[in-house]
């Protein structure tokens, strides 16, 4: 089966976060004659081989909700269009095609497929952590290639992320007599203005420059429209460089808020280190052309790093197409990524 045909088959399966069962069933049937473990709706295929470094080919199976422009998978002008084509069914197709190649399976490395559910949802719903706990040999792998969209570049490490709800307090009143209350919504104005004018902060880690950003993403009250709100909540998302721990990031966030609002952290994900010191990270980067970049987002290289597995991001998907209407991946990118991963596994 061609890479394009394989990707189209993957795109035909509904895989919204929380609904990954069909693709897990498909993987179990496809690899029924291989060493296989299913954990929830995640599947691990393959096993270590004595004397060969284990290389994990890692992809998440879930996608964000489709739009009318990408609901029907198709080929179109040298592209494969469909929800998840870039993020990250295209990478998954490359991983499966490499694993299916007998020459690569019997080469100098022991490739293992890790196809996991729940990446696009909340951090605690991501099944990769449970997979790493259930399949013990994964933590001993010498390299994990996470096939996220990277525009065919090797992207090392990743940003950490916090979501926090900033609650501003006031006193309710009728909107015809606002002087009888204290408007929690407008009380947030100074901090929102600070966030609006806040510049990204560049942080260098292992020679790679990550951009830290603090962004207001949602806001709400629970009052009727003719009531001065006594509570106004703003969700802020802090993306921070891999030189910080979660505790460091939370302290910095609270410093920015400066007591102007009550802070409740509601979701947290640690960053991933670049791991330029790991021999196979360097070897893969050289196979891919030698140039590396920082990952300006969060990916599961962070979870793998915490598990002691050196990991990198590399995939055929376009970062600008992730979660976009009419999502696509160039067919040529599939071929290039397959060639790079294949040449690395061939040694």
Same domain, 214 and 132: no
* Distance of alpha carbon 287 from alpha carbon 285, whole angstroms: 5
Which runs of consecutive H residues, i.e. helices, occur in 182-278? Answer: 184-187, 189-196, 246-257
- Rg for the chain (alpha carbons), in Å? 22
Same domain, 189 and 134: no
Q: Is residue 317 within 8 Å of 152, Cβ to Cβ? A: no
Indicate which CATH number applies to the domain containing 39: 3.40.630.10
Looking at residue 123, its pLDDT comes to: 81
Neighbours of 142 (CB within 10 A): 18
Residue ending a domain, choose from 269, 289, 312: 269
Give the domain extent around 262: 160-269
Indicate which CATH number applies to the domain containing 175: 3.30.70.360
Q: Is residue 320 within 8 Å of 327, Cβ to Cβ? A: no
Same domain, 286 and 139: yes
Each residue's pLDDT expressed in tens, for the chain with a length of 347 residues: 699 999 999 999 989 999 999 999 999 999 999 999 999 999 999 999 999 999 999 999 999 999 999 999 999 999 999 999 999 999 999 999 999 999 999 999 999 999 999 999 888 899 999 999 999 999 999 999 999 999 999 999 999 999 999 999 999 999 999 999 999 999 999 999 999 999 999 999 999 999 999 999 999 999 999 999 999 999 999 999 999 999 999 999 999 999 999 999 999 999 999 999 999 999 999 999 988 999 999 999 999 999 999 999 999 999 999 999 999 999 999 999 999 999 999 98
Q: Is 62 a catalytic residue?
A: yes
Residues 41, 70, 119, 127: which is the catalytic one? Answer: 119
Residue ending a domain, choose from 251, 269, 287: 269
Looking at residue 83, its pLDDT comes to: 97
Same domain, 213 and 340: no
Cα-based distances in Å from 19 to 42, 71, 121, 343 = 11, 16, 11, 34
Does the predicted model carry a pTM greater than 0.95? no
95 token code pair: 């991983």
* Distance of alpha carbon 193 from alpha carbon 279, whole angstroms: 46
Q: Is residue 281 within 8 Å of 272, Cβ to Cβ? A: no
Looking at residue 212, its pLDDT comes to: 98
Task: Give helix 3-11 / helix 331-346 axis angle, nearest 10°.
Answer: 110
Same domain, 246 and 167: yes
Same domain, 143 and 185: no
Residue ending a domain, choose from 232, 248, 269: 269
Same domain, 8 and 110: yes
Q: Is 124 a catalytic residue?
A: no
- Of the CA atoms within 13 Å of residue 138, those in its CB half-sphere come to 30
Domains of the chain: total: 2
16 phi and psi, to 5 degrees?
-60, 150
Same domain, 341 and 244: no
Same domain, 149 and 32: yes
Neighbours of 105 (CB within 10 A): 16
Looking at residue 122, its pLDDT comes to: 83
Q: Is residue 164 within 8 Å of 302, Cβ to Cβ? A: no
Residues 20, 41, 62, 127: which is the catalytic one? Answer: 62
Same domain, 107 and 38: yes
Cα-based distances in Å from 196 to 102, 200, 254 = 54, 11, 17
* Distance of alpha carbon 118 from alpha carbon 84, whole angstroms: 14
List the beta bridge partners of residue 45. Answer: 36, 113
Same domain, 190 and 228: yes
Tell me which DSSP letter residue 136 carries: G
Same domain, 149 and 26: yes
């Amino acid at each position: 089966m061609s890479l394009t045909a394989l990707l189209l088959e993957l795109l035909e399966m509904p895989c919204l976060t929380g609904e990954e069962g069909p693709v897990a069933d498909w993987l179990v049937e496809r690899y029924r004659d291989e060493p296989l473990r299913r954990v929830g709706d995640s599947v691990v295929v393959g096993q270590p081989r004595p004397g060969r470094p284990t290389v994990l080919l890692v992809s998440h199976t879930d996608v964000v909700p489709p739009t009318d422009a990408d609901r029907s998978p198709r080929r179109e002008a040298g592209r494969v269009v469909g929800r998840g084509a870039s993020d990250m069914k295209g990478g998954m197709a490359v991983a499966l095609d490499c694993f299916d190649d007998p020459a690569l399976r019997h080469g100098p490395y022991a490739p293992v497929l890790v196809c996991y559910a729940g990446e696009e949802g909340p951090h605690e719903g991501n099944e990769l952590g449970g997979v790493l706990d259930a399949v013990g040999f994964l933590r001993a792998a010498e390299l994990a290639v996470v096939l996220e969209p990277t525009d065919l570049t090797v992207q090392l490490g990743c940003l950490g992320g916090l979501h926090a709800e900033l609650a501003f307090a006031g006193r309710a009143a009728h909107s015809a007599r606002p002087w009888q209350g204290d408007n929690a919504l407008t009380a947030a104005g100074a901090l929102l203005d600070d966030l609006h004018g806040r510049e990204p902060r560049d942080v260098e880690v292992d020679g790679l420059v990550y951009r830290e950003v603090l962004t207001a993403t949602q806001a709400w009250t629970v009052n009727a429209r003719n009531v001065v709100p006594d509570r106004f909540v703003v969700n802020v998302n802090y993306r921070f460089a891999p030189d910080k721990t979660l505790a460091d990031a939370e302290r910095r966030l609270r410093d920015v808020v400066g007591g102007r609002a009550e802070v409740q952290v509601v979701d947290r994900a640690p960053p991933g280190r670049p791991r330029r010191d790991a021999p196979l990270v360097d070897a893969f980067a050289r196979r891919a052309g030698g140039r590396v970049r920082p990952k300006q987002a969060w990916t599961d290289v962070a979870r793998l790093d915490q598990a002691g597995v050196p990991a990198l991001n590399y995939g055929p998907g376009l970062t600008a197409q992730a979660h976009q209407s009419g999502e696509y991946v160039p067919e040529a990118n599939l071929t290039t990524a397959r060639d790079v991963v294949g040449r690395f596994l061939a040694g």
